[in-house]
Structure 1
Amino acid sequence: MGYRRRIVDDLLDELFPHLAAISLEGAKGVGKTATGTQRATTVFSLTSSRERESLAARPDYVVEAPAPVLIDEWQLLPEVWDRVRHAVDDDSTGGRFLLTGSAGVAPGVRIHSGAGRIVSITMRPLSFAERNLTSPTVSLGELMSPSRTDVVGSSDVHLPDYVEEIIRSGLPGIRDLPPRARRVQLDSYLARIVERELPDNGLAVRRPATLRAWLAAYAAATATDASWSTILDAATAGEPDKPARQTVDGYRDHLLRLFLLDPVPAWSPTFAPLKRLTATPKHHLVDPALAARLVGVETAGLLRGDGDRVSTSTGTWVGALFESLATQSVRVYAAAMDATVGHLRTRDTGREIDLIVEGPDRRVVAIEVELAATVSDNDVRHLHWLRDKLGDRVADLVVITTGPHAYRRTDGVAVVPLALFGP
């Protein structure tokens, strides 16, 4: 198969000719190396011990080699980061270096941040638009614009198709495998994180079964802002010997460094009349297929409503995973337009909005995600509350659904099937 162009390619096409060094960061398997290779004349793969030894002995190879130079998994030889940084200081000509990394620097290793020299871009699994099931007809970028955007289009993607996409994964090397091979590969991916990646990145996992249980509990808290203590209690129910808080914090911090956890931060508007908002992130794994695998529910089970959730009495497990799928896609689209994504919730839980996309001009698109084909007045009440509070700062209001049609309600809210939503 040939290279499948990604949304981040457009961003790289725009930026790389003008920037000397870009670091593509993200979880293993999201496609960073394949994307970087499309632009590289020279490739150093630091997963190879031979290439690591060569660069360790002579870091100047990265400067002497024909540009553009791709340094794959640079964190395995952290000193190469500083060599690139110094090279950019000496010559800031665009298009010189691409670095890819699936982990931050291990604790205790000191490097310069790279600020002002190396620009970091996060790469995530395939968004729904990148899976080529249908062509999007509604653009997040256009919804962010000052002009009123038409919302039209029809899709033949239905709930079973969305559930299948959750299970198939957005990791390019996994999604096209036969079902049994895909399950084995997802299990192997998770096992490698616990058994290899965490130890290689400075965390001694003394109780792998406890870490696996914590991951499963975190997965069961997908699309919630459950407290860390609640997740730990769910992971160790009935166990008198619970791991120490410091141990669990170590799990979380390292899993964030490996990009396996991909929480959505709480949105905190600047200069806006909104008070008493929570600061707690909403929990998501980098790919909802991993969450489904950790909880142990496949396509038929999701459609039946199987799957226990942590810290919520409303909604279904498949609804949480659909929200996670939509969230992952929206974050890819938002990154393409230099926008940020957060969630909104008041401390009294009286108001809650799944996603707030904020552009560079501070205008926002507020998005609710509904596992339904139709939208009621009750589904949009929090969106209208936000518009009442922020006025013209709200560029648009959206409900993402599993329905067949994109349209505007009479109250102006855009109703968009996930399959028709794109960058």
Structure 2
Amino acid sequence: MPYQPRAIDQALLALLPEAPAIAIEGAKGVGKTETALQQANHQLFLYNPADRIVAEADPMLEQLPDGTVLIDEWQNAPATWDAVRRAVDRGAAPGRFILTGSATPAAGIDSHSGAGRILSLHMRPMAIFERGGQKPSVSLAAMFDGDADISGTSAATLSDYVEAIGSSGFPGIHHHSPQLRQRHLNSYIDRVIDRDLPGAGYATRKPDTLRRWMAAYGAASSTTTTYSGILDATTAGDGSQPAKDTTAQFRDLLTSIWILDPVPAWNSLRNPLKAIRLSPKHQLVDPALALTLQRLGPRDLTSQRGNHLLGPLFESLATLSVRAAAAATGASVSHLRTAKGLQEVDLIAESFDGRLIGFEVKLSVSVSDADVRHLLWLRRQFPEDVVDLAVLYSGPVAYRRPDGVACIPLDLLGS
């Protein structure tokens, strides 16, 4: 299958001529290796014992051929991270190393952070606009510049968005039949529990308990439910629950291997708001995993069994798209909720120099005045920082309202 371009390609191409070492990090299966291979001249696959021996026999990385070298799954030989850092200190040329990894080194392994030497890019599963469907017509980068053309017509219907939620953004899963796709998603969760977490230094003594906690977390997608609330939902048939410190360990380890991908709370240090909630908004790395953990399929989202998850997982899908588009420009993504819940902005994209774009996500084919009231409040609070506002919705047409808010069908937003 030919390579499907990703938004992060833009950031990689922009940074390679200047940065000696770039790490592409993210969960297993998001496409890190294929993306890195598009730019690499040589490869070391450290899951391969032969390549690992080569890397370990050259601790200074001085015998590698010229050009850009990909060191894939570097955590299988953690000393290579420090070797790259030392090579940068010795004056490695721009574009010399690309590292890919899906986990931090196991507990007890000492490794320098690489700060100041190794740039990090976070890669996620494919957003809608990366899946080879309709070409997006609205650019997030242009929105930051203040000159976005808000136009275009989408053919996507509710059933298309339901399918996009269930089909997964993992490149190796997305193109399969629904039956095979479901098996792959279940296997992905199993491998997280019985291989990836042990590889990160955690022995899963009660895998069923961990899976129940992950299911409770997935059911809280796109909410700021407290972790104690998620714990309360983690019950066995006999009503028993895991200990609080056990679930805290679940949370930290699943975050370290990029399976949990919460959206942090936003608060401007330049002009801080009073009485703002700092709780993250819960997201799994892929909304299809949240659906699978509930033992549901895409069709269930429009039935009584699963329609309570349709809105939250549509927001998860939108979050994935905004994050992918933001990664191309180096922007961050967060959410805002005031202490009493009177104002809430689903997503805020923030550029490195503090420009803001506020997003509301609405599973609706139309946008009302009520849908934009929190966005307009954000603009009133930060008139010099907010450069655009938008509602991502399931309707057919991209247009700008008289109040300046852009209404964008979700599948038309790109980088």
TM-score category by the smaller chain? over 0.9
Q: Which residue of the partner structure matches residue 69 of structure 1?
A: 69
One-letter amino acid of the structure 2 residue matched with residue 4 of structure 1:
Q
Q: Describe the SS at the equivalent of 1:357.
A: strand
2:315 corresponds to:
323
Give SS of 1:64's match: coil
Aligned equivalent of 1:140: 140
The 5 A counterparts of 1:18-417 are 18-61=18-61, 63-147=63-147, 149-236=148-235, 239=238, 241-272=240-271, 274-307=273-306, 316-417=308-409
Aligned partners of 1:391 and 1:90: how far apart in 2?
A: 46
CA distance in 1, matches of 2:59, 2:66: 14
What is the CA-CA distance between 1:273 and the residue it aligns to? 5.2
Residues in 2 aligned to 1:244 and 1:296: alpha-carbon distance in whole angstroms: 24
Residue identity opposite 1:31 in structure 2: G
Q: Output one character per residue of 1:176-234: Cα deviation in whole Å (capped at 9) or x when no partner.
A: 01111111111111100000110111001111000000000000000001111111110
TM-score (structure 1 length as normaliser) = 0.95
Please tell me whether the aligned partners of residues 4 and 132 of structure 2 are also in contact (alpha carbons under 8 angstroms): no
The question of whether the paired residues in 1 share the 8 Å contact of 2:26 and 2:101 is answered with yes
User: What is the CA distance between 1:327 and its match in structure 2?
Assistant: 0.2
Q: CA RMSD in A?
A: 1.5
How far, CA to CA, are the matches of 1:237 and 1:195 in structure 2? 20
Deviation per CA, 1:316-363: give whole Å up to 9, x if none: 311111100000110111111121110000111111110011112212
Q: For the Cα contact (< 8 Å) 2:234–2:242, is it kept in 1?
A: no
- Give 3-state SS (helix, strand or coil) of 1:40's partner: coil
TM-aligned CA deviation for residue 2 of structure 1: 1.4
Cα distance in 2 between the residues matched to 1:290 and 1:69? 33
Structure 2: distance between partners of 1:342 and 1:62: 41
Q: Give me the whole-angstrom Cα distance separating, in 1, the residues matched to 2:21 and 2:5.
A: 21
Q: TM-score, normalised by structure 2?
A: 0.97
Distance between the aligned counterparts of 1:328 and 1:356, measured in 2? 13
Tell me if structure 2 keeps the 8 A contact 1:69–1:97: yes
Alignment check: 8 A CA contact 1:306 1:317 kept: no
User: Aligned with 2:342: secondary structure?
Assistant: coil
Helix, strand or coil at the partner of 2:383: helix
Could you tell me how far 1:238 is from its partner in structure 2? 6.1
Partners of 2:83 and 2:144 lie apart in 1 by 40
- Deviation per CA, 1:261-300: give whole Å up to 9, x if none: 1100000112225211111000001110111111122122
Q: Distance in 2 between matches of 1:59 and 1:379?
A: 57
Q: 1:4 to 1:146 in 2, by over 3 A?
A: closer
Residue of structure 2 equivalent to 1:419: 411
What SS does the aligned partner of 1:391 have? Answer: coil
Displacement of 1:151 in angstroms is: 1.4
Return the alpha-carbon distance in structure 2 between the equivalents of residues 61 and 264 of structure 1: 37
**Alpha-carbon spacing, 1:238–1:173, altered in 2? closer, same or farther (3 Å):** closer
Structure 1 Cα separation of the partners of residues 384 and 233 of structure 2? 43
Match of 2:8 in 1: 8
Cα offset for 1:83? Answer: 0.8
For 2:382, what is the secondary structure of its paired residue? Answer: helix
Residue identity over aligned pairs, in percent, reads 48
1:18 is displaced (CA, Å) by: 1.3
Paired residues of 1:273 and 1:390 also in contact (CA < 8 A)? no
Partners of 1:54 and 1:151 lie apart in 2 by 52
1:294 maps to amino acid: L
Please list every run of 5 or more consecutive structure 1 residues that lacks an aligned counterpart in the other structure.
309-315
Moved more, 337-346 or 83-92: 83-92
Residues 176-185 or 149-158, more deviating: 149-158
Alpha-carbon distance, 1:92 to partner:
3.1
Matches of 1:108 and 1:273, distance apart in 2:
39
1-side partners of 2:149 and 2:8: how far apart?
Answer: 25
Confirm or deny: 8 A CA contact 2:146 2:388 kept in the other structure: no
CA distance in 2, matches of 1:347, 1:307: 30
Counterpart-to-counterpart distance in 1, 2:184 and 2:408? 33
Counterpart of 1:94 in structure 2: which amino acid? P
- Alpha-carbon distance between aligned partners in 1 of 2:344 and 2:265, rounded to the nearest angstrom: 11
Conserved? CA contact 2:334–2:348, under 8 Å = yes
Would you say how many aligned residue pairs link Structure 1 and Structure 2?
Answer: 415
Q: Can you give the 5+ residue segments of structure 2 that lack an aligned partner in the other structure? A: none
Q: Does structure 2 conserve the Cα–Cα contact (< 8 Å) formed by 1:305 and 1:317?
A: no
- CA offset at residue 372 of structure 1? 0.4
Could you tell me which amino acid in structure 2 is paired with residue 13 of structure 1?
A: L
